[in-house]
Amino acid sequence: MAAATNLLTSVFILYLSFAFQLFPSGNSELQSSFYGESCPRAEEIIKEEVIKLYNEHGNTAVSWLRNLFHDCVVKSCDASLLLETVNGIKSEKDTSRSFGMRNFKYVATIKRALESHCPSTVSCADIVALSARDGIVMLGGPRVELKTGRRDSKQSYASDVESSIPNHNDSISAVLSRFGSMGLDTESTVALLGAHSVGRVHCVNLVGRLYPTVDPTLDPEYAGYLKARCPTPDPDPKSVLYSRNDRETPMILDNMYYKNVLEHKGLLSVDQQLASDPRTAPFVERMAGDNGYFHQQFARAVVVLSENNPLTGPEGEVRKDCRYVNSN
């Protein structure tokens, strides 16, 4: 009887161990080298594709970073952002907050490379996270160690986008509150906004500071430059009318953003508020003077952002095509 009991106990422990490996629980669900056994080259494949795409289309690196933000801020880091509008369900990509986002088609390029090595193994959510990590490096930013093991959402959250993603004209209090709800403190929030160091902004999002009168917080010379880039108060959203976030190092993720903000050359309203609000100004000044410190805090913020409420274990799925939920 004792032997039988011991045998049953051993079998039960073995079962629990196996089940835990399949569906771990708690924050430990995300882990380093999640694909170490199931797809050993997964992270290397993503890196190779990101580098290849960067060499062909440099702006993809900025897109990867923006994808991470837009995906993780809305509900979860679950690749819901990538779903297409289908069967009456609106895509998050089609909302006004996603205006100007591009290069989604190249996510499929990365996915195809992974599928050829490890079919139905690497999630689109992890592609979003790891492509952002490698894109940051291509932009001259820090190497950020990210955990993996995210699963893909089976639904879009388009109706939550407007309330989840801060508007460029929101108050700094609203921005701090939204990021704070995800576990990002004020220092991390200031660092994360440093992503505005790269890329560009369409005039649709700039004219409010230029017309009918110029925002008095704007440097006059800089305001003149912006009006030259955006000559009318009602720009065509489909036209190529934009300004670089940073005129000096537009494709380098560096602390020039903070130097510009201190000189009243913040592109968006929320950028300029960072320098004037007493809660954020000290961090702006320190980051403007220390690029290493900015990179350190930016890396910390990206880790927190990338781990916002992920689907793991038995939740969600691993999509075969990042644009659509699986058919079975």
Q: Which residues are annotated as a binding site for heme b?
A: 196
Residue 311, classified by CB atoms within 10 Å of its CB into exposed (0-12), middle (13-18) or buried (19+), is buried
Q: Which position among 57, 70, 168, 264 bears the catalytic label?
A: 70
DSSP 197-240: GSSEEEGGGTGGGTSSS--TTS-HHHHHHHHHHS-SSS--TTS-
Token pair in block for residue 226: 């912006």
Neighbouring-strand partners of residue 89: 86
Please say if 264 is a catalytic residue.
no
Q: How far apart are CA 79 and CA 154, in angstroms?
A: 9
Taking alpha carbons only, the member of 310, 93, 61 closest to residue 195 is 61
Determine the angle formed by the axes of helices 124-138 and 291-306, rounding to 10 degrees.
Answer: 170
Residues belonging to the binding site for Ca(2+) are 71, 74, 78, 80, 92, 246, 249, 254
Which residues have a Cβ under 8 Å from the Cβ of 98 and sit 6 or more positions away? 70, 81, 92, 161
Q: Report the catalytic residues.
A: 70
